[in-house]
Amino acid sequence: MSVSFDKKDGNVVVVIGTGPGGGVLASELAQKGVKVVALEAGGRHGPEDFVNDEWASFGQISWLDSRSTSGSWRVAKDFSGLPAWIVKGVGGSSQHWAGASLRFQEHEWKTQTVYGNVTGASLLDWPIDAKTMDPYYTKAEEKLRVTRTGGRKGLPGNNNYKVFEAGAKKLGYKDVHTGRMAINSKDYDDFVACQQTGFCFQGCKWGAKWSAGYNEIPVGEATGNLEVRINSQALKIEHDASGKVTGVIYADADGKQHVQKARIVCVAGNSIESPRLLLNSASSMFPDGLANSSGQVGRNYMRHMTGSVYATFDKPVKMWRGTTMAGIIQDEARHDPSRGFVGGYELETLSLGIPFMAAFLDPGAWGREFTSALDQYENMAGMWIVGEDMPQETNRVSLNYDVKDQFGLPTPNVHFDDHPNDIAMRNHAYKQGAAVYDAVGAVRTFPTPPYPSTHNLGTNRMSAKARDGVVNKWGQTHDIKNLFVSDGSQFTTGAAENPTLTIVALAIRQAERIASEMSKGNI
């Protein structure tokens, strides 16, 4: 558990970030005998100190460093300094996540081919497909103990789900169930079944929900091959005259800088920090940032087409009781351009407590129209919309030189404009979501705008050709052989599904590749 590697040990693989991308990669590599130093910007929290209180938990584990926004998306207006809701700490955003674990649909690996030319969108086929990913998805589902896969049963439906299901069935939806969730639907040897506590977003105090932090990292540490260095934020990746990366400069808890030498560097800081790190690593040899010969680093930022629909009824629902997101309607996930847009979306149950509901139901609103909705909180049901958004080159993470962080480095700016396809899809989803609740007698429905992004994708996209993207089909950068990207920023396109299962499957696959290339002496 307490292995520690020398900072001058240039044989280690350095993984930056310990979420589902970096955490799984680090642990898998360690299990294959590879020595790994994982640098994690945040601290270590777990079931023993998670706080089931929305704002207190947000303050405890969320990433709160300075960020800015631009563009016409509503988040830039409502939450200008908080483009994304993600975690700083061991386990990354899988501490906050709800656990919805879905595979991409087959056609979603090939959207350029299937959707054709969409004006303004930088659609591109992934260099991998459903067949390549199938065995890795299976491994990921086993690792996350995903319900309704591998013979595992589904979670029981809570009150929020029952309203949702009844409305969906009345509307004629067929593919409706309590989801494929990385939440235990029974007791396992080391992990207890979901106790329906209802604070999945605040960190599961029972450990019933999978987290890279307490499920994955300890397995890697137990091998004696993985050292996790907490409160260690990577600032810059260094390289030698041949253009190979050689190590990582990071700052410790006191702001003191160190260099960890490395044979290979894997970047997994999520889709805002990963491109930021590559851009901040610019040098005279790579003036536009590392791995950026295509100019694509930071571009094609995707966040999923999202929104929520809440509804009030004349009788109690108590939606906050039980699993936050165990409920899904998949009928609209198909690609069916007759609806007026390409791609599709999922509808998933969602509940927020009163503190977050006040902040997110209709940001900026006030007066009785707003408060009379909150007065009906006990009678409220809710769902989240998550659909495929169009990649656009102009949606991007770039460096904001006007605002420096605590280490004196430029902070990230997140620019985003909705594509007309995103807007058409959102409007369709608002209508269908409201119809679900109207079918069971809703008194009022609320088309709620997007929250700060929980799904951040695409800023180091995977491409067959070097000029189209940043990494190849293994997540290895086109430009630098011993530099990898291991998180959701690899996504070529976003698909309609929550992304984490795919991030984990890619990490498992990448670990295999790195280990075998290392043993062959190729890197």
Partner 1 sequence: MSYVKSLTRRDLLKTSVAAGSLLVIGGGFVAASNAAWALEVTHLKSSTMATLIQMARDIYPHDNIADEFYAAAVKGYDTAESKGPVEEGIAALNAAATGRGHASYLATGWERDRVDTLRSMESSPFFQQIRGGLITGLYNQKAVWPVFGYEGESFSKGGYIDRGFNDIKWV
Among 159, 231, 293, 427, binds partner 1 (CB under 8 A): 159
Is residue 57 within 8 Å of 355, Cβ to Cβ? no
Tell me 46's DSSP state: -
71 interface partner picked from ligand SF4, ligand FAD, partner 1, none, CB below 5 to 8 A per type: none
Q: Which is nearer to ligand SF4, 203 or 220 (CB)?
A: 203
Stretch that binds partner 1, among 84-92, 125-133, 161-169, 216-224 (CB under 8 A): 161-169
Q: Which is nearer to ligand FAD, 296 or 454 (CB)?
A: 454
Q: Which is nearer to ligand SF4, 95 or 271 (CB)?
A: 95
Shortest Å, Cβ 372 to ligand FAD: 27
Q: Which is nearer to ligand FAD, 36 or 503 (CB)?
A: 503
Collapsed DSSP state (helix, strand, coil) of residue 112: helix
Give the integer Cα–Cα distance in Å for 243 and 234. 19
Does position 199 interact with ligand SF4 (CB under 6 A)? The reply is yes
Q: Which is nearer to partner 1, 177 or 229 (CB)?
A: 177
Shortest Å, Cβ 359 to partner 1: 5
Where on the chain is the footprint of ligand FAD (CB under 6 A)? Answer: 16-22, 39-42, 85-89, 92-94, 96-100, 201, 233-234, 268-270, 273, 277, 325, 454-455, 487-488, 498-500, 503
User: Which string of x and - marks every residue 185-204 that binds partner 1 (by CB under 8 A)?
Assistant: ---------xxxxxx-----
Give the integer Cα–Cα distance in Å for 14 and 266. 6
Is residue 451 within 8 Å of 78, Cβ to Cβ? no
Among 74, 206, 249, 334, binds partner 1 (CB under 8 A): 206
Taking CB under 8 A as the criterion, which residues in 378-437 touch partner 1?
Answer: 378
Give the integer Cα–Cα distance in Å for 408 and 73. 28
Strands (E) across 93-210 are located at 176-177
Q: Mark 326-358 as b/e (b = at least 16 C-beta within 10 Å).
A: bbbbbbbbebeeebebbbbbbbbbbbbbeeebb
CA angle 115, 121, 124 (to 5 degrees): 60
Among 36, 37, 39, 208, binds ligand SF4 (CB under 6 A): 208
Q: Which amino acid is at 163?
A: V
Give the integer Cα–Cα distance in Å for 53 and 263. 42
Closest CA to 20 of 505, 512, 513: 505
Shortest Å, Cβ 366 to ligand FAD: 25
Give the integer Cα–Cα distance in Å for 361 and 349. 15
Closest CA to 235 of 39, 90, 10: 39
Give the integer Cα–Cα distance in Å for 486 and 501. 13
User: Which string of x and - marks every residue 340-359 that binds partner 1 (by CB under 8 A)?
Assistant: -------------xxx-xxx
User: Which string of x and - marks every residue 324-363 that binds ligand SF4 (by CB under 6 A)?
Assistant: x---------------------------------------
Give the integer Cα–Cα distance in Å for 236 and 400. 16
Residues that bind partner 1 (CB under 8 A): 52-53, 55, 156-159, 162-163, 166, 194-199, 205-206, 315-318, 320-322, 353-355, 357-359, 364, 366-368, 370-371, 374-375, 377-378, 440
Residues that bind ligand SF4 (CB under 6 A): 183, 194-200, 204, 206, 208-209, 322-324
